[in-house]
Amino acid sequence: MNKKKVLFICIHNSARSQMAEALLNHLKGDKYEAYSAGIKPSNLNPYAIKVMKELGIDISGYQSKSINEFYGVEFDYIVTVCDQAKEECPIFLGGKKHIHKSFDDPSQFKGNEEEILSKFRIIRDQIKDWIEEVFK
């Protein structure tokens, strides 16, 4: 069986798209092959690494990637996970189906370490639940 290829896109490829990539590969890796990229890539968010590790998923070796690395690659699904990415990258050539699902930007969360981690967990779990619902 050929796996369907999925590209998750957000602005910085630092948290939401990285978590979505890892979750889809972890939960549905028998059916899907997930990747992620950013329009303006930055650095992987350390809080994303921590909350994913809580689920037994190690993303510490992941790197923020530019969508430019994927031009010309055929994907079954292109998924934007933030409104800004949808606005700046409304059509990604090479995608058979486009999906948009916006999640709050966890890099904007303020507070002490435990408060920030708590908010990251909420976003992680929202992404996980959404992936389980959409990618059967």
- 10 in active site: yes
User: In this predicted model, what pLDDT tens digit does every residue of 72-107 receive, in sequence order?
Assistant: 899 999 999 987 655 565 555 666 898 999 999 988
Of the candidates 30, 24, 44, the residue with the CA atom closest to the CA atom of residue 101: 24
- 20 in active site: no
* Structure-block tokens of residue 120: 């990251």
Q: Mean pLDDT across the stretch 107-136?
A: 95
- 89 in active site: yes
Taking residue 77's Cβ as centre, other Cβ atoms within 10 Å add up to: 19
9, 10, 37, 52: the active-site residue? 10
Check residue 93 and give its pLDDT: 60
